[in-house]
Structure 1
Amino acid sequence: MTKAERTRQFIIEQSAPVFNTKGVAGTAMSDVMQATKMAKGGLYGHFESKEELSFAVVDYCLNTISESVCSGLNRKKTAKEKLFYFIDHFAKVDKPVIEGGCPMLNFGSEADDTNPAIKQRVNRSIKESQALLKGILACGQANNEFKADWQIDEFAIKMFAMLEGGVLMARVADNNDVMKQISKMLKDEIIANCI
């Protein structure tokens, strides 16, 4: 990495918790200046606009979540272990990978009517997450871990939607009890479909 690339990455990493907490619309360049301890001119030397920076930050946040999940999944052997890990990863609402909570939920909620470019990025991340779950479930069926008649495509959608909904409910209530219930329901269904 060149010095300019390192500085650009530093700006993105330091700005990520700010954007993820305050949202794109709620984040001012003065917030970014405070987080990075850089002058406005230095920031604009690396990003032409707040919009360009926000796109880079959203990509960084979504990639960071994906990498965090995948690195943990790679350490698990069975499909059941992988699914349980995925559930546990999202159930840690009080310990998010990026300060501010789940970026898919945060940026998706904000951008659905206001920012088509960010909406598209979040939508791609949601589809990738669901495809990942479907892949784990399909491997589990192929390896005779799960019942052959389990509707895995439906379960992948349900699992992802319940986890994201649980994150929202837990963060709004400042209480993780609902997420614990959701985690148990999902794990119980997985166990019920094991061979």
Structure 2
Amino acid sequence: MGKGEETRQAVLEQAVSTAGRLGLSGLTIGNLATSMKMSKSGLFGHFRSKEALQLQVLAFARDSFTELVIHPAIAAPRGIPRLTTLFECWMETGRSAAAGCVFVAAATEYDDQEGPVRDQLVRDHRDLLESIALMFRSGVSEGHFREDADPEQFAHDLYGVMLGFYHAYRMMRDPLAETRTRRSFGNLVDQAR
């Protein structure tokens, strides 16, 4: 990796962290330049616009989430082990990484807006739901879940459980957030068996 790519990587890591705290609309080339101790013009050369920066932050966060959550799940055996790995990695990301928070914060921030950033967020959320549904389908084919179980409903319900976890753990700082979330996940799996 060359110096320019290393700089870009460091900037995107900082940008994801900043967006996790301030939201995507709170992320500016100016505040990012200040936190990175770079010139605005130097940073502008990497991104060209606030919207381009926001889209690259989403891409970086998506790649990070995929590496930390989706890839380990896909590497696990099909069915319940795969979904359990997905769940555990997602929980870990929610506890420690800003990448997951960017998507949760941005979903609320951009839900009533139009434009490329919202469009990308919608694609990212739909892709995640489809990934969950596909993993669930593999559980049906492995005999872990009922034939009549609805993969899209499971994906929707698991997504809701994880949003609840983010809210309870990060915003409410509920000491029982993990316990309740694990119970909810167990209930979802049990209902689909």
- With normalisation by structure 2, the TM-score equals 0.86
Q: Distance in 2 between matches of 1:7 and 1:65?
A: 21
Residue 187 of structure 2 aligns with an amino acid whose one-letter code is D
Residues 91-139 of structure 1, C-alpha deviations (whole Å, 9 max, x = no match)? 347623226x522211111112245322111111111111111111111
Distance 1:67 1:166, change over 3 A: same
Q: Is the Cα contact below 8 Å between 2:23 and 2:102 reproduced in 1?
A: no
SS at match of 2:121: helix
Q: Distance in 1 between matches of 2:48 and 2:148?
A: 53
Residues 26-56 of structure 1, C-alpha deviations (whole Å, 9 max, x = no match)? 2343421233221122112222222221221
**Equivalent residue for 1:147?**
146
Q: Is the Cα contact below 8 Å between 2:79 and 2:135 reproduced in 1?
A: yes
**Equivalent residue for 1:83?**
83
Q: Which has the higher contact order (CA 8 A, sep 6+)?
A: 1
Which structure's residues are more often helix, by fraction? Answer: 2
- Root mean square deviation of aligned Cα: 2.3
SS at match of 1:184: helix
Q: Is the Cα contact below 8 Å between 1:79 and 1:140 reproduced in 2?
A: yes
Q: Distance in 1 between matches of 2:66 and 2:175?
A: 22
Query: Percent identical across equivalent pairs?
Result: 20
- With normalisation by structure 1, the TM-score equals 0.85
Q: Distance in 1 between matches of 2:130 and 2:51?
A: 29
**Equivalent residue for 1:186?**
185
Higher mean alpha-carbon deviation, 57-66 vs 82-91, is at 82-91
Provide the aligned length of Structure 1 versus Structure 2. 193
Residue 25 of structure 1 aligns with an amino acid whose one-letter code is S
**Equivalent residue for 1:95?**
95
Shift in Å, 1:60:
1.0
SS at match of 2:96: coil
**Equivalent residue for 1:133?**
132
**Equivalent residue for 1:177?**
176
Residues 135-183 of structure 1, C-alpha deviations (whole Å, 9 max, x = no match)? 1111111121222122232112111122123312332211252443132
Residue 55 of structure 2 aligns with an amino acid whose one-letter code is F
